[in-house]
Amino acid sequence: MSALSLETVGMTMRFGSFTALDDVSIRVKAGSFHALLGENGAGKSTLVKCIMGFYHPTDGQLMVEDREVTVNSPRDAASLGLGMVYQHFTLVPSMTGAENLVISRNDVAGVINWKQERAALADFMRTMPFPIPLDRQVRELSAGEKQKLEIIRQLYLGRRLLILDEPTSVLTPAEADDMLGIVRDMTARGELSVIMISHKFHEVMKFADSVSVLRRGRLVGSGSTTELTPRDMAAMMIGDITLPTLDSRIAVKPEAPALLTLENVRARDGSGLKTIDVDGLFVKAGEIVGIAGISGNGQKELAEVLAGQRRLEKGNVRVKGATYTATRSESRTGKLAFIPEEPLQNACVAKMTVAENLGLRRFDINEKGRKRFWLSKSRIKQYAGDLVSAFKVKTASLETPIGALSGGNVQRAVLARELSGDVDVLIVSNPCFGLDFSAVAEIRARIMKARNSGTAVLLFSEDLDELMALSDRIFVMSEGRLVYETQARDADLSVIGAHMAGHAA
């Protein structure tokens, strides 16, 4: 089997009166590695959902191998050989790789002949360019291995055109390079075509051969990566590419008070099997403390403890010296703000409107900070309208349910809510995850501004570049503990990496 060509012709998608895709025609040659670019809310996910049959486009055609096809459901797309790999993992963690592959087939028998299946799998794996242990439970695999297994599954199911939606966001830089290199080699051999949604220009330049750029639902440019520079692409994406730059860093004052202090903090991790154990950690006013670590080493749980979403089993958290147990009134008096990861699940009510979500912290207090008993709809709307324009949240209206916003725009909305007003302690996890390059620059500038005005910032991030750009001090978290501390200024990336991987000398 060989790679498929694909073409959309005049693809248009309206949601009510809002046009998310407007007459988009893109062409992906058989065996090409095509990147789909565009700022947050440009319509990238909408386009691939139309291709995969999750949405029924309002207008337009889909061509596969130069023939018009009808895709009414993801199942139709699959039978044509189109597959999709998502940002998040879809494998069953408690099953082995082999089990995951076999059960995802359509034609699998009620009673599986494992001997036969194993032999067939072994044959199949010999044709794959990379080995993955199929006899281990998926939960034991690293993020890179899981992502490769997701791709292997698509190939096992016979897909010959893969759509990858921001495939490297959960991978380390080395894993990302490895995975994309393998995929590119398969396209070069004509075994596979790829459409990759990405916000990372360096990835696009290194691995893709052609690009299409969307802007506000329209195709605004396309071309080959040998002829386009990242600057050209950025200009197509947003027109004006003057980006906010980071304020220069004011030195942390030696006498600055620690605003957030953790002492002997202990909590259980997600599985309840391991413990989070933080002996001591403090963040001073006007300081950014970065927490590095490979996803799954307790960062999420520690952030949850601070947000009051996970029980503290032992130890103390203090905010400006006062014991803090993460109640809503304590976070208000202590002026704490939180930006959790996966903001749609953890910081929003998806079915409520953008205006209501932006008002969540404020709706029950009045201008003087006192409790109010009547909701003021017009004030909620006005407040939300101001935040939407200040943070450039793209939404059809203030009445749109926040769950309908693009991933990056949900993130912007949460940042707008949490970063506005007076914040003394800011706890933030992967704030730029899934954001386009201009939003990344803007958000980082806002965090730095908050720091320079005296906010204590605890920054959890899986992006080392981000930690290096923003932090004053960096800790590495591994297996629930802080195992290494360094000043960001003289930090050595390879030493940090070794501690993250758990094999530092």
Ligand X SMILES: Nc1ncnc2c1ncn2[C@@H]1O[C@H](COP(=O)(O)OP(=O)(O)OP(=O)(O)O)[C@@H](O)[C@H]1O
The reply on whether position 169 binds Mg ion by CB under 5 A is no
> Which residues, numbered 386-425, are part of the site for Mg ion (CB under 5 A)?
407
The distance of closest approach from Cβ of residue 66 to Mg ion in the complex, given in angstroms and rounded to an integer, is 28
User: Which among ligand X, Mg ion, none contacts residue 15 (Cβ within 5 to 8 A by kind)?
Assistant: ligand X
Contacting residue, 35, 121, 402, 404, with ligand X by CB under 6 A: 404
Footprint on residues 375-394 left by ligand X (CB under 6 A) = 394
Q: Does 407 bind ligand X (CB under 6 A)?
A: yes
Closest separation in Å from C-beta 402 to Mg ion: 15
Which stretch of DSSP H or E encloses residue 74? helix 74-79
In the chain, DSSP finds a helix count (H) and a strand count (E) of 17, 21
Residue 357 interacting entry, from Mg ion, ligand X, none, C-beta within 5 to 8 Å by type? none
Most distant CA pair in the chain: distance in Å?
72
Least distance to ligand X, CB of residue 485, Å: 34
Residue among 45 and 471 whose Cβ is closer to Mg ion: 45
Q: What does R_g of the chain's alpha carbons equal in angstroms?
A: 24
Residue 38 touches which member of Mg ion, ligand X, none, C-beta under 5-8 Å by kind = ligand X
The conformation of residue 425, written as its DSSP 8-state character, comes to: E
The answer to whether residue 15 forms part of the interface with ligand X (CB under 6 A) is yes
Q: Contact between 41 and ligand X (CB under 6 A)?
A: yes
Residue 47 token pair: 């386009």
Smallest separation (angstroms) from Mg ion to the CB of 42: 8
The helix (run of H) or strand (run of E) holding residue 60 is: strand 59-64
- Residue 44 touches ligand X, criterion: CB under 6 A: yes
Site size toward Mg ion, by CB under 5 A: 2
Q: CB-wise, 235 or 498, nearer to ligand X?
A: 235
Give alpha helix (H) positions in 80-162.
Answer: 97-103, 114-126, 143-156
Rank residues 415 and 482 by Cβ distance to ligand X and give the closer one: 415
From the number of C-beta atoms within 10 Å of its C-beta (0-12, 13-18, 19+), residue 354 rates as buried
Q: Which residues in 202-274 belong to E strands, given as ranges?
A: 210-215, 218-224, 258-268
The least CB distance from residue 158 to ligand X, in Å, is 27
Among 183, 238, 259, 405, binds ligand X (CB under 6 A): 405
Question: Among the candidate windows 12-20, 143-151, 299-307, 491-499, which touches ligand X by CB under 6 A?
Answer: 12-20
The verdict on 20 binding ligand X (CB under 6 A) reads yes
Q: Which is nearer to Mg ion, 167 or 308 (CB)?
A: 167
**CA-CA distance, 4 to 2, in Å (whole number)?**
7
Select the residue whose beta carbon is closest to ligand X and give its number: 408
Answer yes or no: are the C-beta atoms of 307 and 326 closer than 8 Å.
Answer: yes
Cite the beta strand spans of 237-321 per DSSP E.
258-268, 275-284, 288-292, 314-319
Which residue, 336 or 347, has its beta carbon nearer to ligand X?
Answer: 347
The Cα–Cα gap between 431 and 414 comes to 10
Q: Which is nearer to Mg ion, 210 or 406 (CB)?
A: 406
| Smallest gap from residue 161 Cβ to ligand X (A) | 19
* Residue 46 engages ligand X in binding (rule: CB under 6 A): yes
Question: Which pair of structure tokens corresponds to residue 156?
Answer: 């096992």
If the CB atoms of residues 298 and 407 are measured against Mg ion, the closer one turns out to be: 407
| Residue 241 interacts with which of ligand X, Mg ion, none, CB < 5 to 8 Å by class | none
Using CB under 6 A as the binding rule, whether residue 8 contacts ligand X is answered as no
* Candidate residues 38, 83, 293, 343; the one interacting with ligand X per rule CB under 6 A: 38
Interface residue with ligand X, options 11, 28, 37, 43 (CB under 6 A): 43
Buried b (16+ CB within 10 A) or exposed e, 62-101: bebeeeeeebeeeeebbebbbbbbebebebeeeebbbbbb
Do residues 63 and 87 touch, judged by C-beta distance below 8 A?
Answer: no
Encoded one letter per residue, x for contact with ligand X by CB under 6 A and - for no contact, window 336-375 reads ----------------------------------------
What's the angle, vertex CA 437, arms to CA 435 and CA 438, rounded to 5?
A: 100
x-or-dash pattern for Mg ion, window 19-58, by CB under 5 A? --------------------------x-------------
- Smallest gap, in angstroms, from Cβ of residue 409 to Mg ion? 9
Residue 18 CB, nearest distance to ligand X (Å)?
6
* Count of residues engaged in binding ligand X, rule: CB under 6 A: 19
For residue 240 the two structure tokens come to: 């004006």
Q: Does residue 42 bind ligand X (CB under 6 A)?
A: yes
The token duo for 269 is 């991790």
* Binding status of residue 45 toward ligand X by CB under 6 A: yes
Beta-sheet strand order (sheet of 481-487) = 322-323, 314-319, 258-268, 275-284, 481-487, 473-478, 288-292, 456-460, 425-429, 336-339
* Of the residues 154, 406, 420, 455, which one makes contact with ligand X according to CB under 6 A: 406
Compute the distance between CA of residue 503 and CA of residue 481 in angstroms, rounded to an integer. Answer: 14
Place of tokens 């413990």: 275
Q: What DSSP state is assigned to residue 443? A: H
Minimum CB–partner distance for residue 390 and Mg ion (Å): 23
Strand ranges (DSSP E) for 303-421?
314-319, 322-323, 336-339
Alpha helix ranges (H) inside 200-293: 201-207, 230-238
If binding is defined by CB under 6 A, does position 54 make contact with ligand X? Answer: no
**Residues engaged in binding ligand X (CB under 6 A):** 15, 18, 20, 38, 40-46, 394, 396, 404-409
**Residues engaged in binding Mg ion (CB under 5 A):** 45, 407
